[in-house]
Amino acid sequence: MCSTRSDSSWIYQQYKDWNYNVVSQSVRHNITGDTLTISRAAESDQGWYWCEGNRVSRPTSSQPSNAVSLKVKALPKTTLTVKPNPAYTGEKVTLTCSTRSGSNWNYQWYKDWNYKVVTQSVRHTIRGETLTISRAAESDQGRYWCEGNRVSRPTSSQPSDPVTLTVKALPKTTLTVKPNPAYTGEKVTLTCSTRSGSNWNYQWYKDWNYKVVTQSVRHTIRGETLTISRAAESDQGRYWCEGNRVSRPTSSQPSDPVTLTVIALPETTVTVNPNPVYPGETVTLTCSAGSYSDWSYKWYKDNSEISLSQYKYLNTRSTISRVTESDQGLYWCQGERRSRPTSSSISDAVTVTVNNYQPKTTLTSDKENIFTGDSVTLSCTVESSGWKFYWYRHRPDSTPVATTSEYSCTLSWVNVSDGGQYWCRAGRGDPVYYTLYSDPVQINITAGDVILESPVHPVAEGRLCDSDLLSFLLE
């Protein structure tokens, strides 16, 4: 402000420095009456200022004023530090704004060139001179700067130089599962791989409840692999993994989940025919896997694999000829093949029972008193099943006069000449295994008046029981 005490109507000229540099109106310099206002002082405004009055009436000018030195100091410098930088997604990042001149500073935070103010949020905390990003995301990446403000002069600091925060995505983890699908009992290897850096340890998870997979009898974790030694249906599910280490980045992104499918082995069944069996008889054990093809089979008896020299080994069948009591026991089987699945399930065990005697048949007649023209039914019984029956007359060691698949034989319209002794025995298998002969049954026929109402059909000699007519055939 320039002031002349004598009279009024003075107009003032402002000067800067000794070269009579006239100060004129500008964007930052405003001259109004006796006042020169510098709106935003800059270091270039520093210097010596004086003024001089002028008017129309005498005296037309005043003496120049004493020179006044204007000093303009730079605002305190603000420094911004960002740690860590670059950061990885999920890490905590601390931005620190520091003004060395004075105290009681508060700080304003800006991001990018549009003067976007950074404010408090769930992940962003401002306390004192620090802005903390609790879990960095890629959206936090950008140019940051800060500025100090306070009540006392200077009321603001210079803005800090901008610092670019780089936020990198965590290394991607890849999970591979082989084989998949797997069959029960197979070895399964899960491999977790992080391509960025080394010294990774891995955490394994199964299903969506973040169930941690740990070491067990069947599960082994070594380095980047989880090995399931003998897969079970309980191992089926969604697996994923995550890397961890001491150096940055301290963790990786979780891998995409992979669903492990565990398929039950094809079911195997074993059948035995006949059973029970008798010494000297032939028994056939049949093993069958219900799906796939190209199976060969292993046989086991009483916890030991059956050797080929001991038994006739016919792919799906194991035939034991001339059974003895030592062949009695528990038998089971399992299928094998070259392509996956390489084995079937183990069949349930079947007990082969060897009775230590040769069975005997029993022959009975349904009538004691028989007259000519009657029908007589002979019944041949044996304690087990699967037999054919052989019928004999007069001599048990003769050629059988008939063979039936049923245990009974009916003699129709008998004559006195049909009387005599009858035997039976049973046989089964190939070659045929026979029971002992039955005790003989004596049939005595008493003559009586017989009236034939229809002609007698001719019958073939040597047949005892006709399968259609069930009639007794004469020799």
* pLDDT per residue as tens digits for the range 159-175: 999 999 999 999 999 99
pLDDT over 80 at 36, yes or no: yes
Same domain, 160 and 237: no
Residue 389 included in any domain = yes
Within its chain, how far is the Cα of 391 from the centroid?
66
Same domain, 161 and 87: yes
Residues 6+ apart with CB under 8 A from 129: 96, 97, 98, 105, 107
Tell me which of 23-32, 246-255, 351-360 is least confident. Answer: 23-32
pLDDT over 60 at 294, yes or no: yes
What letter does residue 361 receive in the DSSP assignment? -
Domain extent at residue 195: 175-261
Residue 336 included in any domain = yes
How many Cα neighbours within 13 Å face the side chain of 363? 26
Same domain, 163 and 88: yes
Query: Please, which pLDDT band fits residue 255 given cuts at 50, 70 and 90?
Result: very high
Same domain, 96 and 121: yes
- The CA-based dihedral angle spanning residues 396, 400, 406, 407, taken in that order and rounded to the nearest 10 degrees: -10
Same domain, 274 and 312: yes
Among candidate residues 326, 352, 378, the one where a domain is terminated: 352
- Please report, for residues 90, 91, 92, 138, the alpha-carbon distance to residue 83 in angstroms, rounded to integers and kept in the order given: 14, 10, 9, 16
Residue 454 included in any domain = no
Same domain, 232 and 274: no
Task: Tell me how many domains the chain contains.
Answer: 5
- Helix, strand, or coil (residue 403): strand
357-407: pLDDT as tens digits: 989 999 898 888 899 999 999 999 998 889 999 999 988 888 898 899 999
- Please report, for residues 344, 398, 452, 454, 459, the alpha-carbon distance to residue 475 in angstroms, rounded to integers and kept in the order given: 57, 13, 20, 21, 9
Residue 426 included in any domain = yes
What letter does residue 354 receive in the DSSP assignment? B
Same domain, 234 and 280: no
Same domain, 309 and 335: yes
Residue 420 included in any domain = yes
Same domain, 346 and 368: no
What pTM did the predictor assign? 0.66
* CB of 158 closer than 8 Å to CB of 166: no
Same domain, 322 and 367: no
Residue 455 included in any domain = no
Residue 237 included in any domain = yes
Same domain, 202 and 121: no
Residues 6+ apart with CB under 8 A from 2: 12, 14, 34, 35, 36, 51, 52, 53, 65
